[in-house]
Amino acid sequence: MEENSLSIISLIFNAGIVVQIVMIILVMMSIYSWTVIMSKKKVLIDATNDINNFHQSFEGEVVLSRIYKDLPPLVSDRTAMEDIFGSGYQEFTHTKSTSNQSLIMNSERAYRAMNTTASNEIDRLDSSLSVLAMIASSSPYIGLFGTVWGIMHSFIGLASVKQATIAIVAPGIAEALIATAFGLFAAIPATIAYNRLVSQVEEIGNKYTAFIEELFVIIQRQR
């Protein structure tokens, strides 16, 4: 087992300069993708907890003005759910007029404001995922480029050999194939994580939409 690991290490260090550069690039891409995965996972967990916590307090308090007074005065200090609620309630109470037409306009403005705030939050949650998708899709091709280059370089070296044997060809091909392995090592976790994170962002977006619809109905009743 130790000999195999040492042989793989030796193949990496003995690979051509282009193949080594490809492997370094893929290692950096893998490290960056794992950084995005871990940080984004924490952000999505916090967003899910925020939804659950605000729902509990929202269901226990039916007076919207009391909920609004309990919000942090600065928008930057509010959570996403607090910001969605605050933006909607602020637009709903924008004017003091109690006419039916004003209340209808206020409720419609509140609905648009909440959707805009939720959309901005989804954009924030969705950030960096495009980079993760790029790593997932491009890593195998970068690794394949290193493999093709390494094999091509090996065959060029065989031109000066009168009789090619497996012992001569195998090391060069093995060095080249390591680049493909590095590409897959970077791409597979990024692909799995991207699909999972996109699904979680979509689920959070659906919860935002459900809350907005629920709050809009409550606002309509208070007209």
For residue 66, CA distances in Å to 13, 57, 63, 117 come to 66, 11, 6, 21
What are the CB-based long-range contacts (under 8 Å, 24+) for 166-172? Answer: 171/11, 171/14
Q: Quote the pLDDT of residue 149.
A: 85
DSSP secondary-structure letter at 70? T
pLDDT 10s digit of each residue in the chain, 223 long?
A: 444 444 777 777 777 788 889 889 999 999 999 999 999 999 999 999 999 988 887 776 667 888 888 888 888 888 999 999 988 888 887 766 566 676 678 788 888 999 999 999 999 999 889 999 999 999 999 999 988 888 887 777 676 666 666 666 677 777 778 889 999 999 999 999 999 999 999 999 999 999 999 888 887 776 5
Q: Quote the pLDDT of residue 122.
A: 94
pTM comes to 0.79
Is residue 146 left, alpha or beta, with left meaning phi > 0 and alpha meaning psi from -120 to 50?
Answer: alpha
Measure the CA–CA gap between 198 and 139, rounded to whole angstroms.
19
For residue 102, CA distances in Å to 65, 87, 91, 214 come to 19, 17, 11, 21
Q: Quote the pLDDT of residue 95.
A: 65
